[in-house]
C-alpha cells in the first residue's frame, strides 16, 4: 500500500508542478484511482501529501484542488526575489564576514553530499538545505526590514516546487551559484554577491518556466481525458 501511495504521489506531484492540472482544478479521488489503476486509499494518501506540501488545497465543500498559482504569480515571485535578495546578498557580503561564509560553505558541502547520494528524498532534502542557505544570507544582511519583506517569498510553494522537477545539471548549476555566493561573502565583495544572486534567481526563473513546459505534458496510462 505504501509503495502504491508513493507512486501516486510522485505522479501527481509531477503533474501539479509541471502544470498538467490547471490552478484550482479539482483532483477527484475516484477518477484518479481509475486512471492510475489503484485503489482509492493510496490516492487519498497521495492527495493528503500534496496538501501538506502546499501543492494543493483541501476544502470540505470544494474537495482537493490544485493550489492556484498563475503565470503572473510565478513571474512576480521571481522578480521580487531578484530585486530584494540581490540587495540582501550585497549587504550580507559586507556585513557577514567569515562566520557567514563558513556557514554557507557548510551548507554547500551538505548539498553536495545530498546530490551525490541521490535517492527519492533528494528533492525534499535539497529544498531544506536551499532554504537554509537563502535564510542564512538574509539573516547575514542584518536588515529586519528586508527579512520581513522576503520571509514570505523564500519558502513560497511555487519556489519549493522547482526542487521536485530539476535535472541533475540544474542541481549542479545551482550548486555552483551557491559556491560563488559563499566566495563573494568571504571576499567581502558586495557587488559580486549582488550580481551572482541576480544571476542565480534569473536562471532559476528561466529553468522553472522550461520545466513547466517539459513536464506539462506528463501523463500516465495514456493521459487524462
In a domain, 117, yes or no: yes
According to DSSP, the residues that pair with 64 across neighbouring strands are 58
Give the residues of the chain that fall short of pLDDT 50. 217-225
Of 49, 63, 58, the residue nearest 5 (C-alpha)? 49
Number of domains making up the chain: 2
| 198 lies in the same domain as 98 | yes
The answer for residues whose C-beta is within 8 angstroms of residue 84's C-beta and 6 or more apart is 146, 149, 150, 153
The per-residue pLDDT for 92 is 98
Expressed as residue numbers, the domain containing 23 is 2-68
pLDDT digits (tens, 9 = 90+) for 39-53: 999 999 999 988 887
pLDDT digits (tens, 9 = 90+) for 136-185: 999 999 999 999 888 777 866 666 667 666 788 889 999 999 999 999 99
| 56 lies in the same domain as 79 | no
Amino acid at each position: 500500500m505504501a509503495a502504491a501511495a508513493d507512486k501516486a504521489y510522485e505522479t501527481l506531484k509531477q503533474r501539479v508542478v509541471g502544470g498538467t492540472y490547471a490552478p484550482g482544478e479539482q483532483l477527484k479521488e475516484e477518477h484518479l484511482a481509475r486512471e492510475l489503476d489503484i485503489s482509492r486509499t493510496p490516492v487519498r494518501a497521495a492527495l493528503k501529501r500534496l496538501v501538506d506540501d502546499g501543492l494543493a488545497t483541501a476544502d470540505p465543500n470544494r474537495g482537493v484542488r490544485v493550489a492556484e498559482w498563475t503565470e503572473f504569480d510565478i513571474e512576480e515571485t521571481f522578480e521580487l526575489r531578484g530585486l530584494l535578495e540581490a540587495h540582501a546578498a550585497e549587504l550580507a557580503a559586507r556585513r557577514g564576514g567569515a562566520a557567514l561564509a563558513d556557514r554557507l560553505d557548510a551548507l554547500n558541502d551538505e548539498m553536495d553530499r545530498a546530490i551525490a547520494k541521490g535517492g527519492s528524498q533528494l528533492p525534499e532534502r535539497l529544498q531544506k538545505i536551499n532554504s537554509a542557505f537563502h535564510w542564512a544570507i538574509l539573516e547575514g544582511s542584518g536588515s529586519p526590514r528586508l527579512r520581513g519583506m522576503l520571509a514570505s517569498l523564500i519558502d513560497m510553494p511555487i519556489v519549493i516546487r522547482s526542487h521536485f522537477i530539476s535535472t541533475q545539471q540544474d542541481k549542479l548549476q545551482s550548486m555552483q551559484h551557491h559556491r560563488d555566493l559563499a566566495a563573494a561573502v568571504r571576499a567581502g565583495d558586495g557587488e559580486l554577491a549582488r550580481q551572482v544572486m541576480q544571476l542565480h534567481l534569473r536562471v532559476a526563473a528561466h529553468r522553472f518556466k522550461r520545466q513547466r513546459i517539459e513536464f506539462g505534458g506528463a501523463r500516465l496510462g495514456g493521459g487524462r481525458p
